[in-house]
Amino acid sequence: MTRDAVVIGGGVSGLAAAHGLASRGHKVTLLERQTHTGGSAITERLGGFLMEHGPSTMNAHIPAAGQISSELGLDAQRCDLGVGVRNRYLVSAGKLSAISTGPLGMLTASYLSPMAKLRILADFLLPQRSGGKDETVMDFCSRRFGKEFAERIIDPMVAGIYGGRASALSVSAIFPKLVALEEKYGSVSLGAMHARREGGKMPGSRLFSWRDGIAALPRALALGLGNRIRTGATVRRISPCHGGFTIDLGPQGRLQAKSVIVATQAHVAAQLLAGLDPQAATAAGRIHAPPMAVVFLGYPRRQVAHSLDGLGFLTAEAENRKLIGAQFCSTMFPGRAPAGHVAVSAYIGGARAPHMARLPGPELIRLARSEFRDLIGAEGEPSIARVRHWPLGLPQYEIGHQGLAEVLRTTARRHEGLFLTGNYLAGPSVANCLHLAQETALAVHGYLEGRNDIQFRRSAAR
């Protein structure tokens, strides 16, 4: 068998895993079913606008993000958040209200009642929870900071970042640092103060992108991989064979490799693993990804009343808005709109309102326009309007997720040479995907080296 590894899926996860193997000298082939690589990282330039239809930001707090930017020579076109980003907004009583970060700001915020502010402080005094059962983000935050804070601040955040509901997602899966602070210090707030004093990093994000948008990353990875990539190649089945695996591409034939990395979405992994590792297939099949729609709108500047001096806004469910949230794209990064114009994008659906994400494009544009008219005073016809439907948006890290992820991350223990990577295992952000893909490539490298070592010893002994 001459091929060391086949990577299935050409999103950021698969590309980064293949890059990690190729740069260690392994013979690798990446198979992608679409005609282009990048997966959900899709950037489009049209009429002077730069539109992100999927991810729009990289989290610099995760070292893999900055490292890959340097390694691929993308630093020259890297852009950090624009100076105009002074606020993050929350929709409160039908209006945008700047979210104050830091405890003092929170205590003077207009979007929380006096009782809710007092209740936040109770976190300093409340006893630590006993018993290690997984808890939802909503239960954890309500217990520590009160229900109003959890519903008005945390749930919108969870909807904006994970497309999910705080009442369903597992706190230990998505905010493990908060759980650890409670465990170590008895109080999240006390823990955060200690951690800051000790120079530790708090959960957070520092965002960046590139001049040509997020798609610059998969493009650079794909360029480096060159003819190791085969697009338009849909994997139908993986089966074990002597010395490795056979990868069945239906009418396009078969490939063989010593190892396989499945780097697809969870539901595809479930199908591909069904005959091979039923335990992993069942676990992958239990990870849902509700639909999401992204509506990008560009307006002449004079048609929008709001200063757009922020990242965008989030909405609490009780506000009954049609949008989960929105980004002020042209404030966030340079070059997102032509001179004299602004660009905003709306996020619709997710676990909160999956049916809304399935509405036809023109209906979604109508909804987004009407919400932007109400909330940021965007009047008249937009200069550009584009919709992207994601039938399966972001994977939901629900209660019990860590058990599922454990089963999925240990496929190689049950089937030597079989590895998984992707956004449903160790965090959905692009930076999380990069980090896990690099770890996976290292594990595959270790496996291949060990295997070669055994073969070398066997042939030397003959």
Ligand X SMILES: Cc1cc2nc3c(=O)[nH]c(=O)nc-3n(C[C@H](O)[C@H](O)[C@H](O)COP(=O)(O)OP(=O)(O)OC[C@H]3O[C@@H](n4cnc5c(N)ncnc54)[C@H](O)[C@@H]3O)c2cc1C
Taking CB under 6 A as the binding criterion, the range among 141-149, 190-198, 404-412, 422-430 that sits at the site for ligand X is: 422-430
Binding piece for ligand X, criterion CB under 6 A, among 103-111, 151-159, 186-194, 261-269: 261-269
Nearest approach, Cβ of residue 393 and ligand X (Å): 5
What is the DSSP secondary-structure string of 371-419? HHHHHH-B-S--SEEEEEEESS-SPP-BTTHHHHHHHHHTHHHHSTTEE
Q: How far is the CB of 278 from ligand X (least distance, A)?
A: 18
Give the pairing type, strands 28-31 and 229-230: parallel
**Should residue 422 be labelled a site residue for ligand X when binding is judged by CB under 6 A?**
yes
Binding mask 16-35 for ligand X (x = CB under 6 A): ---------------xxxx-
Between 30 and 308, name the residue whose CB sits nearer to ligand X: 30
Nearer to ligand X, 23 or 34 (CB): 34
Q: How far from the centroid of its chain's Cα atoms is residue 103's Cα?
A: 27
Shortest distance (Å) from residue 224 CB to ligand X: 16
3-state helix vs strand vs coil in the chain, percent to 5? 40, 20, 35
Residues 294-313 that bind ligand X (CB under 6 A): 294
Closer CB to ligand X, residue 139 or residue 439?
A: 439
Interface residues for ligand X in 38-57 (CB under 6 A)? 39-41, 54-57
Contact map string, positions 372 to 411, toward ligand X, x by CB under 6 A: ------------------x--xx-----------------
Q: Which residues of 398-435 are buried (b: 16+ CB within 10 A; e: fewer)?
A: bbebeebbebbbebbeebebbbbbbbbbbbbbbbbbbb
Q: Are strands 259-262 and 418-420 parallel, antiparallel or unpaired?
A: parallel
Residue in 5, 6, 7, 13 binding ligand X, rule: CB under 6 A: 13
Rounded to whole angstroms, the Cα distance separating 38 from 218 reads 5
Q: Exactly one of 428, 445, 447, 448 binds ligand X (CB under 6 A); which one?
A: 428
- Stretch of 10-18, 117-125, 188-196, 404-412 contacting ligand X, by CB under 6 A: 10-18
Instruction: Answer yes or no: are the C-beta atoms of 14 and 38 closer than 8 Å.
Output: no
User: How far from chain centre, in Å, is Cα 283?
Assistant: 20
Rounded least distance, CB 136 to ligand X, Å:
21
Report whether 394 contacts 173 (CB < 8 A). no
213 binds ligand X (CB under 6 A): no
Token pair of 250 as six digits:
């239906």
Out of 23, 77, 234, 256, which residue is the one contacting ligand X (CB under 6 A)? 234
Residue 146 token pair: 């009160």
**Residue 164 binding ligand X, by CB under 6 A:** no
**What minimum distance in Å lies between the beta carbon of 125 and ligand X?**
36
Nearer to ligand X by Cβ, of 109 and 293: the residue is 293
Query: Is there binding between residue 345 and ligand X (CB under 6 A)?
Result: no
C-alpha to C-alpha distances, 253 to 202, 250, 263, 303, 442, nearest whole angstrom: 49, 6, 20, 55, 29
Q: Which stretch binds ligand X (CB under 6 A): 136-144, 193-201, 363-371, 420-428?
A: 420-428
- DSSP-assigned letter for residue 154: I
For residues 57 and 87, which CB has a smaller minimum distance to ligand X in the complex? Answer: 57
Q: Is 14 near ligand X (CB under 6 A)?
A: yes
- Give the separation between CA 177 and CA 290, rounded to whole angstroms: 26
Choose among 366, 383, 149, 395: nearest CA to 268.
Answer: 395
Which of 68, 292, 364, 426 binds ligand X (CB under 6 A)? It is 292
Handedness of CA 172, 174, 180, 186 (dihedral sign): negative
- CA–CA distance from 409 to each of 9, 65, 206, 285 (Å)? 17, 22, 28, 14
Q: Give the position of tokens 């798609």.
A: 215
Which of 36, 415 has the CB closer to ligand X? 36
Nearer of residues 11 and 417 to ligand X, judged by Cβ: 11
| Interface with ligand X (CB under 6 A), residue from 430, 434, 441, 448 | 430
- Which chain residues interact with ligand X by CB under 6 A? 8-14, 31-34, 39-41, 54-57, 59, 234-235, 263-265, 268, 292, 294, 390, 393-394, 422-423, 428-431, 433
